[in-house]
């Protein structure tokens, strides 16, 4: 073999490695479709309500647009969306929720202020819009409205035992004693999940000192103030007084706690209006049925979360847009994506939410009550829609580190490893260190 | 070695063998059993028919095969340079290559976001292949270097005296002689690539390019968790590699142990 | 590293070309990545916006005072120590058992290695469901003991880390077994026979003769064990995701959480630099060890 051949051969090794980069360069990205042709809108979500009907209705009205629907678990979603929003193969329409997702992914979304002005955005619940803004820019539109501050209860169990719906902790403890004696758990709770613990904490503090928590979130009040410590003490009491059964710290809200509630193993669950479809409408219950093995045959109703102090008013509802839809600035089908967004938040999508029992984001569509399984649920759902018009504040804490700190404090107090006062001191330390 | 046992010793070892088998088999049996709950064998049909299973299978195969090939080329050729050719500075190069030996891929997650995007690799097989190859090379280079060093010096000297070039020696003599260590590197790298979960999750969003480890995610969303189908998917993902192991047991065993001992 | 009897040759430039493919990939990904990490670690940056705010060494100060970092480090070390010890003991025991005349020892030899080839993602996901309060493992325990057992193994802070250790031991004892199996196969049987003739019991034989002869294997398993413990991510992420609280958080998981869930890419980079420094120590150890073994 000559020297020339030899070095060419060695060079070929290098070429093989380098071909990686070359091939990659060739295969990256796909050409954007030309105007007027059929377009595909890629739709990413971790939680879409009735996606099949949504897509079918939309495509029927817009036959030149195809929806490529992708459902993730929430954890996978936040992982994938990060690169998805900077790549050409990512989503055109993606899901956010108020708080950190809006803060961090909002800059990668198409601003929607002009779009709203041209398409009757004033029909949308103002609270639904404000929580999806970033520095005054509208980055997403709400899918539907939801709020926490409620307990859902199994009316079949309560009727069977002659227990009335508790309005404060004293009544609740008494009720729980009867319920547990009959072999049911009282309040099903997935204390593994910080979000549901935070919901309950907000329900407690919003009864003890209505609205003050929103000052603390903004740094204008101290988390170590007596009301906040008292609310944390009440949180601890839920676990020690037998309202929440042992083992709850190990459970997730979905599917563990919710499953136990659906299967008539527990009498109460602390959830919000987003559970109305899955517990009160026959279509929604059919969906819930797929998640549990026992047949769902109870009647479920909702009530305000009981006041920790007897004589206090229970919490008002707190919430806003349950989640929202944004259009990726990288989208190569922005017009089609905006058409779909219009459908989701202002058009037929809202009818689908309303028909299913979710509270629509637009004020001129009323939630349907004709699919309820028990006539008592009609008034219940109508009350939810009315109360959603007078929210006390938001569910999410927009500062990630503060939200994490509160979540960890609640988790530690629930596990009994931290005293309420110490826990609030930790939260305050993080709150004081934030640059808001 | 321990076959001259008294009755008591035999009984004891028999008990331990049975316990060990039970502990090994029980979880495997539970996984298979759970995969048949609910809709029974139908679970498997649904997993294959409602997900792009075959597509993902092919993608896993392509990614694993290319990764193995690249790791082999890079490891064996660099080991050849380090152990046999030894140009000036080769020791420094060896240190550079081996430094990443114990490095967890997650430690590179922030830079990878940037590098993968800057190179335009996002949503290509290369987004997984390139980082996977890079963190697999140190191990391959190490075992290959050790293997080549242990070969008799005369092998190379004699070939050179017979007029073979470095390249001829590499292709005609070294690679055939290095077959055992090639098997080692192939098995290690293939297992790592086939079983990789995080890199495809982060860097491949295009459904046409995703891999088998993503199949279970089709059956869990926020509220709906279809456990039997997740298990059925797990069994289907594992079957090819378990079959490969059972069919090539000797090769797997020798390969995996050679990797550590020599 | 130069070996006697192998004088350095004067070599053509083309010798370097054999190093180029590996260097392009390793330097391009690993070294550039480490340098980039060091740069990012001086920023307050969410990992998404085009640029971050320079904060100097603040992220490292924060790291020193971050209890979760220390808990993650401790958990990583506890996980490493526990898995290594258990896998070595069980692996050694299996290697002895397949050398007895016990029935089914061939099946044991085959099956011991099956979990090793499974994807950690599949193993972790499976055990997450098997270990729930109403999962199959509690079902089996209830059937065996006759009592209703609904222990939330992975969600109880007092058992969660132990469970993760045991899952890892279940999956990777086969690997330790393999290493010991191969090494025992190379022991000169006459040594064993001689000890037997001297009247040693099986226990004495194992402890005083076999175990010391396998010192090379012990060392290899310790170093490989630490390395794979440092790399462990899928197993923790897909079972407990570090919870309950931070009781099972490990360094890789904490980096992932900071970068992906909490949008602290700058801080995540500082954590990565700490992990790289630890990993580097063990890279050196393995290279030393492996090169020594090879001679």
What does the pLDDT read at residue A167?
96
Q: Which residues 115-154 of B are in CB contact (within 8 Å) with A?
A: 116-117, 119-126, 129-130
What does the pLDDT read at residue C11?
54
- CB proximity list for A393: less than 8 A, separation 6 or greater: A202, A206, A211, A213, A214, A318
Nearest to A192 among C155, C260, C262 (CB): C155
Closest A-chain CA to C242 = A192
Cβ–Cβ under 8 Å, residues C58 and C44: yes
Q: What is the ipTM of this complex?
A: 0.91
DSSP codes joined into one string, C131-155: TSTTSHHHHHHHHHHSS-----TTT
- Closest of C135, C114, C117, C113 to residue C126, by C-alpha: C135
Q: Which residues 42-81 of B are in CB contact (within 8 Å) with C?
A: 70, 73-75, 77-78, 80-81
Identify the residue whose tokens are 């709906």.
B224
User: What distance in Å separates the CA atoms of residue A215 and residue A234, rounded to the nearest whole number?
Assistant: 20
Q: Is the predicted pLDDT of residue A35 greater than 80, yes or no? A: no
The enclosing domain of C146 has a CATH number of 1.10.3720.10
Q: Is residue C36 part of a domain?
A: no
User: What distance in Å separates the CA atoms of residue A395 and residue B54, rounded to the nearest whole number?
Assistant: 43
User: What distance in Å separates the CA atoms of residue A276 and residue A356, rounded to the nearest whole number?
Assistant: 9
Closest A-chain CA to B130 = A20
The H or E element containing residue B234 is helix B227-247
What does the pLDDT read at residue A7?
46
Length of chain C (residues): 295
pLDDT band, residue C289 (cuts 50/70/90): confident
Q: Is the predicted pLDDT of residue A29 greater than 50, yes or no? A: no
Identify the residue whose tokens are 């280079």.
B141
Closest A-chain CA to B164 = A1
Contacts of A14 in chain C (CB under 8 A): 17, 20-21, 24
CA A124 to chain CA mean position, Å: 19
Q: May I ask the CATH architecture of the domain B40-257?
A: Orthogonal Bundle (1.10)
- Closest of A193, A132, A184 to residue A161, by C-alpha: A184
Identify the residue whose tokens are 């009735």.
A50
Residue with the bigger pLDDT between C132 and C94: it is C94
Cβ atoms < 10 Å from Cβ of A372: 20
Q: Is the predicted pLDDT of residue A63 greater than 80, yes or no? A: yes
pLDDT tens sequence across A289-333: 887 878 999 999 999 999 999 999 999 999 999 999 999 999 999
- Kindly state the DSSP code that residue C49 receives in the 8-state scheme: S
CA R_g for chain A: 25
Mean pLDDT computed over C269-277: 95
Q: Is the predicted pLDDT of residue A14 greater than 60, yes or no? A: no
Residue A404 in contact with partner chain C when CB distance is under 8 A: yes
Beta sheet of A93-96, edge-to-edge order? A65-71, A39-45, A93-96, A318-327, A141-148
Q: Tell if the CB–CB gap between B221 and A47 is shorter than 8 Å.
A: yes
Specify which residues A42 forms β-bridges with.
A68
The topology (CATH level 3) of A150-316 is D-Maltodextrin-Binding Protein; domain 2 (3.40.190)
Q: Tell if the CB–CB gap between B167 and A6 is shorter than 8 Å.
A: yes
pLDDT tens sequence across B58-103: 999 999 999 999 999 999 999 999 999 988 888 889 889 988 888 8
pLDDT band, residue B121 (cuts 50/70/90): confident
Q: Is residue C234 part of a domain?
A: yes
Residue A28 in contact with partner chain C when CB distance is under 8 A: no
Three-class SS state of A29: coil
Cβ–Cβ under 8 Å, residues C30 and B100: yes
Q: Is residue C12 part of a domain?
A: no
Domain-wise residue ranges, chain B: 1-35, 40-257
Residue with the bigger pLDDT between C89 and C183: it is C89
pLDDT tens sequence across A205-254: 999 999 999 999 999 999 999 999 999 999 999 999 989 998 788 788 98
Q: Is residue C10 part of a domain?
A: no
The model scores a pTM over 0.80: yes
pLDDT tens sequence across A372-390: 999 999 999 999 999 988 8
The tokens describing C91, both together, are 């692996």
What does the pLDDT read at residue B208?
86
Question: Rounded to 5 degrees, what are φ and ψ at C246?
Answer: -120, 20
Nearest to B106 among C6, C252, C265 (CB): C252
DSSP codes joined into one string, B219-231: GB-SS-B-HHHHH
Identify the residue whose tokens are 């390019």.
B209
Alpha helices (H) along C112-233: 114-117, 120-130, 136-145, 160-185, 189-197, 202-204, 211-213, 215-231
What does the pLDDT read at residue B217?
82
Q: Tell if the CB–CB gap between C263 and A107 is shorter than 8 Å.
A: no
Cβ–Cβ under 8 Å, residues B98 and B208: no
Chains sharing 3 or more CB pairs under 8 A with chain C: A, B
Q: Tell if the CB–CB gap between B34 and C136 is shorter than 8 Å.
A: yes
List, by residue range, all CATH 3.40.190.10 domains of chain A: 4-146+320-360, 150-316
Cα angle C32, C34, C36 (rounded to 5 degrees) comes to 65
Q: What is the dihedral of CA C277, C279, C283, C289, to 10 degrees?
A: 110
Identify the residue whose tokens are 């929607």.
A112
Cβ–Cβ under 8 Å, residues A168 and A269: no
pLDDT tens sequence across A162-205: 999 999 999 999 999 999 999 999 999 999 889 999 999 999 99
Q: Is residue C149 part of a domain?
A: yes
Cα angle A141, A146, A151 (rounded to 5 degrees) comes to 170
Residue with the bigger pLDDT between C50 and B198: it is B198
What total of structural domains would you count in chain C? 1
User: What distance in Å separates the CA atoms of residue B80 and residue A364, rounded to the nearest whole number?
Assistant: 75
For residue C199, the enclosing domain spans 67-294
- Tell me the CATH number of domain A4-146+320-360, given options 3.90.1300.10, 3.40.190.10, 3.50.50.60, 3.90.1860.10: 3.40.190.10
pLDDT band, residue B4 (cuts 50/70/90): low
């Amino acid at each position: 073999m000559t020297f020339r051949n030899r070095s060419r051969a060695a060079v070929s090794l290098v070429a093989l490695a380098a071909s990686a980069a070359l091939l990659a360069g060739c295969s990256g990205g796909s050409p954007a479709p030309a105007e007027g042709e059929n377009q595909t809108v890629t739709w990413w979500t971790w939680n879409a309500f009735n996606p099949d009907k949504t897509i079918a209705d939309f495509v029927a009205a817009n036959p030149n647009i195809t929806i490529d629907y992708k459902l993730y678990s929430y954890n996978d979603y936040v992982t994938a969306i990060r690169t998805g929003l900077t790549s050409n193969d990512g989503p055109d329409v993606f899901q956010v929720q108020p708080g950190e997702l809006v803060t961090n992914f909002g800059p990668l979304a198409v601003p929607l202020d002009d779009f709203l002005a041209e398409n009757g955005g004033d029909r949308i619940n103002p609270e639904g819009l404000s929580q999806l803004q970033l520095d005054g820019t509208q980055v997403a539109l709400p899918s539907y409205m939801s709020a926490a501050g409620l307990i859902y209860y199994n009316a079949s169990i309560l009727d069977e035992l002659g227990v009335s719906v508790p309005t404060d902790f004293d009544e609740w403890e008494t009720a729980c004693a009867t319920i547990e004696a009959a072999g049911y758990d009282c309040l099903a709770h997935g204390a593994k999940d910080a979000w549901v613990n935070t919901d309950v904490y907000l329900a407690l503090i919003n009864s003890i000192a209505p609205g003050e928590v929103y000052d603390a979130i903004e740094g204008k009040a101290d988390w170590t103030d007596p009301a906040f410590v008292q609310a944390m003490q009440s949180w601890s009491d839920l676990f020690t007084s037998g309202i929440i059964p042992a083992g709850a710290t190990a459970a997730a809200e979905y599917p563990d706690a919710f499953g136990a509630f659906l299967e008539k193993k527990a009498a109460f669950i602390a959830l919000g209006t987003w559970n109305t479809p899955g517990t009160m409408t026959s279509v929604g219950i059919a969906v819930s049925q797929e998640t549990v093995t026992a047949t769902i045959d109870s009647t479920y109703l909702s009530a305000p979360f009981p006041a920790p102090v007897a004589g206090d008013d229970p919490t008002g509802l707190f919430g806003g847009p349950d989640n929202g839809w944004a259009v990726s600035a990288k989208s190569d089908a922005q017009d089609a994506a905006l058409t779909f967004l219009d459908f989701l938040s202002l058009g037929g999508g809202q009818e689908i939410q309303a028909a299913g029992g979710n509270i629509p984001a637009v004020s001129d569509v009323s939630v349907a009550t004709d699919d309820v399984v028990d006539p008592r649920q009609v008034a219940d759902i109508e009350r939810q829609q009315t109360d959603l018009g007078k929210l006390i504040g938001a569910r999410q804490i927009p500062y990630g580190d503060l939200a994490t700190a509160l979540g960890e404090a609640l988790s530690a107090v629930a596990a009994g490893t931290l005293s309420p006062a110490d826990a609030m001191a930790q939260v305050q330390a993080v709150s004081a260190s934030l640059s808001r | 070695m321990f076959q001259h046992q008294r009755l008591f010793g035999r009984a004891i070892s028999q008990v331990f063998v049975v316990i060990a088998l039970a502990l090994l088999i029980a979880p495997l049996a539970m996984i298979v059993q759970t995969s048949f709950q609910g809709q029974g064998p139908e679970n498997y049909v649904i997993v294959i028919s409602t997900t792009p299973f075959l597509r993902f299978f092919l993608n896993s195969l392509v990614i694993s095969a290319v990764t193995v090939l690249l790791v082999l080329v890079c490891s064996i050729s660099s080991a050849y340079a380090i152990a046999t050719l030894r140009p000036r500075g080769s020791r420094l190069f060896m240190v550079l290559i081996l430094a990443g030996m114990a490095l967890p891929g997650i430690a590179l997650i922030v830079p990878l976001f940037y590098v993968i995007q800057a190179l335009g690799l996002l949503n290509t097989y290369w987004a997984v292949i390139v980082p996977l190859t890079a963190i697999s090379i140190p191990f391959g280079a190490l075992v290959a270097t050790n293997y080549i060093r242990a070969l008799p010096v005369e092998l190379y000297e004699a070939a050179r005296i017979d007029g073979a070039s470095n390249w001829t020696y590499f292709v005609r003599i070294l690679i055939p002689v290095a077959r055992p260590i090639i098997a080692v590197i192939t098995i290690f790298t293939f297992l790592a690539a086939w079983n990789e979960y995080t890199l495809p999750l982060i860097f491949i969003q295009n459904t046409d390019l995703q891999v088998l480890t993503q199949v279970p995610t089709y059956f869990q969303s926020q509220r709906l968790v279809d456990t039997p189908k997740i298990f059925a998917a797990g069994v289907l993902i594992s079957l090819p590699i378990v079959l490969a192991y059972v069919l090539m047991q000797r090769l797997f065993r020798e390969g995996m142990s050679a990797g550590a001992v020599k | 590293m130069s070996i006697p009897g192998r004088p350095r040759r004067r070599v053509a430039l083309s010798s370097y070309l054999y190093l180029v493919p590996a260097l392009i990939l390793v330097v391009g990904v690993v070294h550039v990545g480490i340098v980039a990490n060091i740069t990012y670690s001086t920023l307050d940056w969410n990992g998404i916006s085009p640029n971050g705010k320079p904060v100097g060494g603040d992220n490292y100060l924060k790291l020193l005072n971050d209890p979760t970092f220390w808990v993650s480090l401790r958990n990583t070390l506890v996980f490493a120590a526990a898995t290594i010890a258990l896998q070595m003991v069980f692996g050694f025991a299996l290697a002895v058992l397949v050398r007895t005349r016990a029935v089914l020892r061939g099946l044991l030899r085959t099956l011991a290695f099956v979990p090793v080839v499974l994807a950690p993602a599949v193993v972790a996901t499976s055990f997450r469901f098997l270990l729930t309060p109403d999962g199959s493992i509690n079902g089996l325990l209830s059937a065996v003991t006759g009592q209703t057992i609904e222990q939330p193994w992975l969600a109880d802070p007092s058992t969660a880390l132990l469970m993760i250790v045991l899952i890892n031991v279940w999956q990777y004892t086969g690997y330790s077994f393999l290493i010991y199996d191969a090494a025992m196969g190379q022991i000169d049987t006459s040594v064993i026979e001689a000890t037997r003739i001297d009247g040693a019991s099986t226990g004495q034989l194992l402890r005083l003769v076999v175990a010391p002869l396998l010192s090379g294997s012990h060392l290899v398993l310790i170093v490989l064990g630490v390395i794979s413990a440092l790399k462990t991510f899928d197993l923790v992420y897909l079972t407990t995701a570090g919870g309950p609280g931070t009781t099972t958080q490990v360094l890789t998981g904490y980096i992932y959480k900071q970068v992906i869930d909490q949008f602290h890419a700058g801080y995540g980079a500082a954590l990565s630099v700490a992990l790289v420094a630890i990993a580097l120590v063990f890279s050196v150890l393995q290279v030393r060890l492996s090169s020594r073994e090879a001679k």
